[in-house]
Amino acid sequence: MEKGATHYTHWFQPMTGSTAEKHDAFLKPAAEGRVVNEFSGKMLIRGESDASSFPSGGIRSTFEARGYTAWDPRSPVFIKESLNGKTLCIPTAFCSYTGECLDRKTPLLRSTQALSKHALRILRLFGNTSAQYVNTNIGIEQEYFLVDRQFFLQRPDLVNTGRTLYGARPPKGQEMGDHYYGSIRGRVLAFMMDLEKRLFRLGIPLQTRHNEVAPAQFELAPLYEEANIATDHNMLIMETLRGVARDHGLVCLLHEKPFKGVNGSGKHNNWSMSDSEGNNLLDPGETPHENAQFLVFLCAVMRAVHSHAPLLRVGTATAGNDHRLGAHEAPPAILSIFLGNELMEVVESIRKGARSKGRKREYMRIGVASLPALPRDATDRNRTSPVAFTGNKFEFRAVGSSQSPAPTIFLVNTAVTEALDAYAGILEAEVARGTPFLDAVNTLLREEFEAHAPVLFGGDSYAAAWPKEAERRGLPNLKDSVSALERFSDEAHVAVLARYGVLTPREVVARQDILLGEYSTSLVIEAQVCLEMGRTIILPAALSWQRKLAETIASLGKVGLEGATETHMQLLHRVNRHVRDFMIALDRLDEELPRCQDIKGSALKKAQFCRDLLVPVMAACRAEGDALEQLADDTRWPLPKYRELLWIY
Ligand code: ADP
Ligand code: MG
């Protein structure tokens, strides 16, 4: 109240992908028609809400519609300032009456706890007796586009779906590379500075700002924080980006692919583990002992990405992200790890030790126990890898710009926990058997590096040869979200999530259902907008140009300009052809849409239908619409074009 708050809210992250809040005043009736301000401990700790409209994947039937919010004391409360007042926001977890989680925060918290437990076992084996827990930290790079609000409002596709469903390639895109790291325009810099100030007031320190590769594309990065807090902060960053942009006459587009033909937007998650004393466990150490420990944690991430690739892929599966992963854009849907040359050599030498019989032990000694100080800064960078080791952290690059980072992080945490648990088990058993500890570590690393070497790839992940090579190595390539989400409920995935208490089998199935449903709904909405814009905006413009051409030809004939009419006829033929094909494509979309909407059966079946029927037909509509855009009279074209959207801001 001292800071001006009149209301409070339990702020949570339901499965809608955004955040939710219901505000309550501190007011409470008192005697004699008065009111007092009240805020009790109970109100802080727990909230109950009718949550029947939040996605639950069948976990909560409407007669048991109550949902509970529970205070997350590890994430600081904050005060949201708006035009006419302030609201106290309390980060909370959200669950059903029966205790099943209905949000994105709960599994993240559960996974952090699991990882901490097994990472501590490893630390204890290495003689660390003081660490109390292990944290995961993330620094989230956020890419976004800015467009002028005037243009945005004239594009129903941007307004309704966050991306352009039509729009011909602009004469100038990102080919010149002149936007990347370019000097930031005044209007945008003013926006960025305003954003930074407002986020700082919310306790979110932004560190980096720059122009990204595509025109009108930008990036920010805050200082890294504990995963739970960083995730809450990323949700707030996305919300604040949108709000501040509006104040500057701009619109912030967080969609993964707002524009065809230029780069889309991602959200690189820089991930590391640190102990309670602040030591980064992915920081190569100074001594052989520290290096051995570092290599065990590094190896755990290799195993996690290699053994649980389809599960990790689930974290990045959304309709929007399909335009990046698996399409012609970075990073690919195949999960591989880039370690950098120096580290790669270390791994190779340890691995090869396995093959040279006789001198095995000696080799291994060289491999681990007397390792030279490892490189602290990865000097070489690989921008095409979906998972890159960058000196003292892993960068997970497949996350989509509009997504919550939580799913990827809790899945990574779970997969790494599985590896750490396995390693701790092996090492503890060896030590109990009397094997010298470092010998046991040597053997473990040799075997594990050998087993998981196929996940390492230092080459160009965009190259056409890579998918073939990846297949040969047995790495899965789940190109689209539906194929990825289908794998969520694989027995192995359900088992590992249950074993570490991250998600119960019922929660997995519910989540799978929600995500598939979200996919289908997004596509149906896009298809509806595509159809409506096609029929009511683009087609009328094309038809009026067609009529104009026909009239011109008729009048030219009258004045005897036959030669001129011949070229006019050719133009008219082209327009006719595209108009005809456009109408055919729109009709097909009109037919497929109800089929997708009415389909009976599982969420998976519906999503498969949407993917197989709607995606190609929408592409066909777009191809024709865009061809017409490039033929018709510009002065009468009813939509702002890419050359305006991308360059005028
Ligand atoms: P890039 O060079 O890959 O574009 P940026 O400088 O844009 O990287 O962002 C790097 C992000 O990684 C920042 O958010 C930074 O705070 C974060 N980061 C740095 N060290 C760590 C760490 N140990 N663990 C997690 N994140 C980290
Ligand atoms: Mg960056």
Tens digits of residue pLDDT in 28-52:
999 999 999 999 999 999 998 776 7
Q: What is the predicted pLDDT for the residue at 354?
A: 47
647 CA to centre of own chain: 26
The total number of structural domains in the chain stands at 3
Q: What is the domain-level CATH number for residue 600?
A: 1.20.120.1560
Q: What is the predicted pLDDT for the residue at 252?
A: 98
Written as one letter, the residue type at 527 is: A
Ligand 1 close to Cβ of residue 224 (< 6 A): yes
Q: What is the number of alpha carbons within 13 Å of residue 49 lying toward its C-beta?
A: 24
Question: Which residue has tokens 């099943």?
Answer: 100
Q: What is the domain-level CATH number for residue 91?
A: 3.10.20.70
Whether residue 513 lies inside any domain: the answer is: no
> How much distance in Å is there from the Cα of 647 to the middle of ligand 1?
29
Whether residue 146 lies inside any domain: the answer is: yes
Interval 561-577: pLDDT, tens = 877 788 899 999 999 99
For residue 370, name the pLDDT band (cuts at 50, 70, 90). very low
Out of 94-108, 376-390, 480-494, give the one with best mean pLDDT: 480-494
| Top-confidence residue, 419 or 560 | 419
Token pair of 204 as six digits: 């979110």
What is the average pLDDT score of the chain? 92
Residue 458 has pLDDT above 70, yes or no: yes
Count the Cβ atoms, other than its own, within 10 Å of residue 223: 12
- Whole-angstrom Cα distance, residue 444 to residue 367? 12
Ligand 1 close to Cβ of residue 137 (< 6 A): yes
Whether residue 209 lies inside any domain: the answer is: yes
How large a percentage of the chain has pLDDT more than 70?
95
> How much distance in Å is there from the Cα of 221 to the middle of ligand 2?
7
Whether residue 516 lies inside any domain: the answer is: no
Interval 429-456: pLDDT, tens = 999 999 999 889 989 999 999 999 999 9
26 lies in the same domain as 133: no
Residue 232 has pLDDT above 80, yes or no: yes
In SS3 terms, 73-132 reads as: CCCCCEEEEECCEEEEEEEEEEEECCCCECECHHHHHHHHHHHHHHHHHHHHHCCCCCCC
257 lies in the same domain as 182: yes
DSSP-derived 3-state class of residue 313:
helix
Q: Looking at residues 488-496, what average pLDDT do you find?
A: 97
Whether residue 509 lies inside any domain: the answer is: no
- Whole-angstrom Cα distance, residue 520 to residue 598? 12
178 lies in the same domain as 312: yes
Of 141, 217, 480, 130, residue with least CA distance to 332: 480
Of 604, 522, 102, residue with least CA distance to 318: 522
Are 100 and 509 spatial neighbours (Cβ–Cβ below 8 Å)? no
Written as one letter, the residue type at 473 is: R
Token pair of 165 as six digits: 């469903």
Q: What angle do CA 579, 583, 588 make, to 5 degrees?
A: 150
Q: Looking at residues 477-484, what average pLDDT do you find?
A: 96
Interval 202-231: pLDDT, tens = 999 999 999 999 999 999 999 999 999 999
Ligand 1 close to Cβ of residue 382 (< 6 A): no
276 lies in the same domain as 302: yes
Q: What is the predicted pLDDT for the residue at 284?
A: 84
Cross-strand partners of 69: 47, 94
Q: What angle separates helix 437-452 from helix 406-432, to the nearest 10 degrees?
A: 140
Residue 163 has pLDDT above 70, yes or no: yes
> How much distance in Å is there from the Cα of 322 to the middle of ligand 2?
22
Ligand 1 close to Cβ of residue 141 (< 6 A): yes
Are 402 and 255 spatial neighbours (Cβ–Cβ below 8 Å)? yes
Whether residue 621 lies inside any domain: the answer is: yes
Q: Among 72, 102, 132, where does a domain finish?
A: 102
The domain of 75 spans 5-102
Cross-strand partners of 147: 251
Q: In what order do the strands lie in the sheet with 387-389?
A: 225-226, 134-140, 269-275, 394-396, 387-389, 337-338
Whether residue 497 lies inside any domain: the answer is: yes
Residue 549 Cα distances to 560, 571, 581, 635, 636, angstroms:
16, 8, 18, 15, 14
Q: What is the predicted pLDDT for the residue at 98?
A: 81
Q: Among 102, 125, 146, where does a domain finish?
A: 102
Ligand 1 close to Cβ of residue 139 (< 6 A): yes
CA-nearest residue, atom 10 of ligand 1: 139
Q: Which atom of ligand 1 is nearest to the CA of 210?
A: 7
95 lies in the same domain as 128: no
Ligand 1 close to Cβ of residue 270 (< 6 A): yes
Q: Looking at residues 532-553, what average pLDDT do you find?
A: 96
426 lies in the same domain as 300: yes
Residue 464 Cα distances to 124, 339, 468, angstroms:
45, 21, 8
- State the DSSP string of 136-204: EEEEE-EEEEEEEHHHHHT-HHHHHHSS-SS-PPPSSSSTT--STTPPPPHHHHHHHHHHHHHHHHTT-
Q: Looking at residues 148-165, what average pLDDT do you find?
A: 98
Interval 372-403: pLDDT, tens = 455 555 546 778 899 999 989 999 999 999 99
76 lies in the same domain as 134: no
Ligand 1 close to Cβ of residue 208 (< 6 A): yes
For residue 362, name the pLDDT band (cuts at 50, 70, 90). very low
Whether residue 139 lies inside any domain: the answer is: yes
Ligand 1 close to Cβ of residue 279 (< 6 A): no
491 lies in the same domain as 535: no
For residue 600, name the pLDDT band (cuts at 50, 70, 90). confident
Residue 117 has pLDDT above 90, yes or no: yes
Residue 369 has pLDDT above 70, yes or no: no
Q: Which atom of ligand 1 is nearest to the CA of 272?
A: 24
Interval 268-309: pLDDT, tens = 999 999 999 999 999 987 777 788 999 999 999 999 999 999
Give exposure, 559-594, as e/b (b: 16+ Cβ within 10 Å): eeeeeebeebeeebeebeebbebbbebbebbeebbe
Token pair of 558 as six digits: 């009258």
Residue 115 has pLDDT above 50, yes or no: yes
Q: Which atom of ligand 1 is nearest to the CA of 271?
A: 25
537 lies in the same domain as 455: no
Q: Among 50, 69, 102, where does a domain finish?
A: 102
Token pair of 153 as six digits: 């409002």
- Whole-angstrom Cα distance, residue 499 to residue 502? 8
> Which residue out of 224, 229, 379 has the highest number of ligand 1 atoms within 8 Å of its CB and is therefore the one to mutate?
224
Of 160, 149, 145, 155, residue with least CA distance to 262: 145
Q: Which atom of ligand 1 is nearest to the CA of 221?
A: 14
For residue 63, name the pLDDT band (cuts at 50, 70, 90). low
Handedness of CA 471, 476, 481, 483 (dihedral sign): positive
529 lies in the same domain as 444: no
Q: What is the number of alpha carbons within 13 Å of residue 244 lying toward its C-beta?
A: 20
- Whole-angstrom Cα distance, residue 151 to residue 646? 10
477 lies in the same domain as 558: no
> How much distance in Å is there from the Cα of 412 to the middle of ligand 1?
17
191 lies in the same domain as 147: yes
Q: What is the predicted pLDDT for the residue at 80?
A: 95
